[in-house]
Amino acid sequence: MTLEQIKNRLSDQFKSSIIKNENLAEHQVEIKGEDWFDVATFMKNDPKLSFDQLECITGIDTGEDGPLQTHYNLHSMEYRHKIEAVISHDRKDPKVASIEQLWRIGDWFERETYDMFGIEYTGHRDLRRILCPDDWEGWPLRKDYEAQESFHGIVVPKIKEEEGWE
Amino acid sequence: MGVVQGDQMVLNIGPQHPSTHGVLRLEVTTDGEIVSKITPHLGYLHRCFEKHAENVTYEQVIPFTDRCDYLASMNSNFGYVVAMEELMDIEISERVQYIRVIMAELNRVASHLLALGVYGLDIGAFTPFLYMLRDRERILDMFEYTCGARLLYNYMWIGGVSHDLPKDFVKICVNFLDYFEPQIEEYNNLLTFNKIFIERTADVGVIPAEVAISYGVSGPNLRGSGVKWDVRKDEPYSIYDRFDFDIPTGTGEFGTLGDCFDRYWVRMLEVTQSVRIIRQALKDLPEGDVFETMPKKIRPPAGSVYRRTESPRGDLGYYIVSDGTPSPTRVKMRSPAFTALSCLDEVSSGWMISDVLAILGSLDIVLGEIDR
């Protein structure tokens, strides 16, 4: 299926769940956070779409005023087509349904995004930090992150702000 | 740690254990010798690659990618520059394309040799390891001759490569390939068709195809399960569509489809295919300037790109977001070893502890890439 056909099939089924966003690239489609689990289930199980491989989950912080985002790169081994689903989260309380039980790799990818951005994937059976230590404070990849000063007596070095890239 | 009941025992493998190929701790719950659950604990090698990448310029990210997958740094570089070139939409000179493919495939051979040799070591065969490391050394010598580094090259740059090939490189490389090809048969006689090795690996740790896809397992591990999927063929990047090569898949030759032996055997067959690609690339290598297409200023337009390439461990993806400034807003690395390790729990439950190490070795993980 071409990108256009995939998008049409999705909007036929979930008319109200798809958000029109001019800023997105052609291969991206933005979906309402509260409907994500239903859309994801459909994308995986629909015989015409059959997205059986979750390539990647990427968390993105769009800046201080913008929302946090989760990007899901989906791919179908059967039809060899792909699409990227985008979910935006409220900065104060980032939350979305977990798709860990649909694609098993979602388990670790969601843990990683949770670890780095603090996005909570509700329904995840084992949501805890994966790369950072369990008692680390803060969400390192957020733009407004400030590292804690010391960790178990070890001083955490500050990243120096360098100016003048030109 | 969960509640321990009856005869159950919790055992720690690692963080410092030769079979974990790095710094990884496996919390293994066992019932006697039988494993019932494995919880991997990662992060011992976490060096904040993604955070660092946001604080440096686009070119300065490349040395970091070396240090992620330190056994196949060329392929790590390759994935990043391919993604960057797609984002910036620039054309690359023909010579650079060929050099990149030669280097990436040589590095794939080197990485597979280490994986196969160390796998023998995990199982208890010491000699093949020395044979394979001897030949890997010659590949590293060629890299050193080209760019001065043996393991961490920083060789592929956006739009070009850091050094042109030395004048006699083609001759040296062809000499090496002529020497190397008969060695593969020797490895097979030494290790592959050894009865003890087959007994230890065949039928052990079977990953069915649908489980592998659901866990995002990729590369030789996925092909070992019989799925014919190779990014070089299915989503061609660079100039891979010009070469003639096969994608070996597992057949369950001595046991079940998708067992440890199949994953090992696919790697061995891939070495032969890489040699085929290198020979074709050396034959067609055009003349030219390697710095010609390198942009003076790297300032990609605002936007994002997700591109995956085939590293020796599988689908290596880079998600790069740019806002038009000289440093990236976000660089995410989709690491193939990370996804391969995630299926360890499901695959190993029910097997003995010694088999867990055989399964872990067959997945060919590199902790530098998992922890980033």
pLDDT for A166? 46
Residue B367 counted as domain residue: yes
Whether residue B216 lies within 8 A of chain A, CB to CB, comes out as yes
Q: Which residues contact B141 (CB under 8 A, 6 or more apart)?
A: B150
Structural domain contains residue B9: no
What is the pLDDT at residue B140?
A: 92
Is A132's CB within 8 Å of B43's CB? yes
Chosen from B339, B343, B367, B369 to mutate, greatest number of chain A CBs within 10 A:
B339
Rounded to whole angstroms, the Cα distance separating A155 from A22 reads 45
What does the DSSP 8-state code read for residue A83?
E
> ∠B41-B45-B49 over CA atoms, to 5°?
120
The tokens for B355 are 């088999």
Query: Does B6 reside within a domain?
Result: no
Q: What is the pLDDT of residues A14-43, one digit of tens each?
A: 888 788 777 777 788 888 888 888 888 988
Task: Indicate the residue type of B120.
Answer: G
Query: Which residues does chain A have within 8 Å of residue B229's beta carbon, measured at their own beta carbons?
Result: 77
- A80 and B234 within 8 Å at the Cβ level: the answer is yes
How far is B326 from B298, CA to CA, in rounded Å? 7
Nearest beta carbon to residue B214 from set A71, A73, A104: A104
Look-up: residue for tokens 């297409």?
B293
CA A93 to each of CA A117, A122, B363: distance values in angstroms, whole numbers, following the listed order:
11, 12, 38
Contact A71 B50 (CB under 8 A): no
Total domains in chain B come to 1
Q: Which of B233, B206, B90 is nearest to B158 (CA)?
A: B90
**Alpha carbon separation from A9 to A1, A2, A13, A74 (Å, rounded):** 10, 11, 7, 15
Taking an 8 Å cut-off on Cβ atoms, the answer to whether A104 and B346 are in contact is yes
- Closest partner CB to B303 (pick from A25, A130, A131): A25
Q: Does B214 touch chain A (CB under 8 A)?
A: yes
CA-nearest of B26, B246, B255 to B263 is B255
Q: What is the mean pLDDT of each run of 10 residues along chain B (372 residues)?
A: 69 79 86 87 88 87 89 91 89 89 92 90 88 91 90 88 89 92 89 88 88 89 89 87 89 85 91 92 87 84 88 90 88 90 88 88 88 85
Instruction: Name every residue in A having a CB less than 8 A away from some CB of B.
Output: 25, 52-56, 58-61, 71, 73, 77, 80, 84, 103-105, 107-109, 116, 129-133, 140-141, 159, 162, 165
Question: Given the DSSP bridges, would you call strands B314-322 and A95-97 parallel, antiparallel or unpaired?
Answer: unpaired
Nearest to B216 by CA among B207, B110, B359, B128: B207
Q: Is residue B271 a part of any domain in this protein?
A: yes
More confident residue, A160 or B343: B343
- Chain B partners within 8 Å of A80 (Cβ): 234
- Residue-wise pLDDT for A61-76, tens only, equals 887 788 888 999 998 8
Tokens standing for residue A148:
């804690």
C-alpha distance from B197 to closest chain A C-alpha (Å): 31
Is cis: bond before B15, omega within 30 of 0? yes
Q: Who among A54, A140, A141 is closest to B216 (CB)? A: A54
In chain B, where does DSSP find H-type helix?
49-53, 61-68, 73-88, 94-123, 127-147, 169-187, 195-201, 209-214, 220-224, 231-234, 260-284, 336-342, 344-348, 353-363, 367-371
Q: For residue A165, which of B105, B197, B324 has the smallest C-alpha distance?
A: B324
Instruction: Establish if B42 belongs to a structural domain.
Output: no
Give the CATH number, domain containing residue B299: 1.10.645.10
Check pLDDT > 90 for residue A164.
no
B302 touches chain A (CB under 8 A): no
Contacts of B42 in chain A (CB under 8 A): 130-131
Nearest CA in chain B to A79: B234
What pLDDT was estimated at residue B17? 77
Residue-level pLDDT at A19: 80
What does the longest C-alpha to C-alpha distance in chain A come to? Answer: 57
In a domain, B32, yes or no: no
Specify the DSSP class assigned to residue B17: E
Q: Give the whole-angstrom CA distance, residue A70 versus residue A130.
A: 17
The answer to the question of residue B313 being in a domain is yes
Instruction: Evaluate whether residue B231 is within a structural domain.
Output: yes
Search chain A and give the residue with CA nearest B367: A131
Task: Say whether residue B55 is in contact with chain A using an 8 A CB cutoff.
Answer: yes
The number of residues in chain B equals 372
Q: CA-based angle B342:B344:B348, to the nearest 5?
A: 160
* B60 lies within 8 A of chain A by CB: no
Determine the Cα–Cα distance for residues B343 and B206; give it in Å rounded to an integer. Answer: 11
pLDDT for res A29: 86
Cα A32 to chain center, whole Å? 13
Identify which of A66, A80, A70 has the alpha carbon closest to the alpha carbon of residue A32.
Answer: A70
Residue B171: the pLDDT is 92
Cβ-nearest to B330 among A60, A80, A105: A60
Go through the domains of chain A in sequence order and give each one's CATH number.
3-155 (3.30.460.80)
Contact with chain A for residue B102, Cβ under 8 A: no
pLDDT digits (tens, 9 = 90+) for A107-142: 899 999 999 888 888 888 888 888 888 888 888 888
pLDDT for residue B319: 92
User: b/e map of B68-90 (b: 16 or more CB within 10 Å)?
Assistant: bbbbbbbbbbbbbbbbbbbbbee
pLDDT at residue A9, as a whole number: 81
| B215 interaction partners in chain A (CB closer than 8 Å) | 104-105
* pLDDT value, residue B78: 92
Contact B264, B358 (CB under 8 A): no
Q: Is B339 within 8 Å of A108 when comparing Cβ atoms? A: yes
Cβ atoms of B329 and B354 within 8 Å: the answer is: no
- How big, in percent rounded to 5, are the helix, strand and coil portions of chain B? 50, 15, 35
Among the partner-chain residues B215, B327, B371, the one whose CB lies closest to the CB of A104 is B215
Task: Report whether B334 contacts B319 (CB < 8 A).
Answer: yes
Looking at residue A82, its pLDDT comes to: 87
Can you give the residue range of the structural domain that contains B247?
48-371
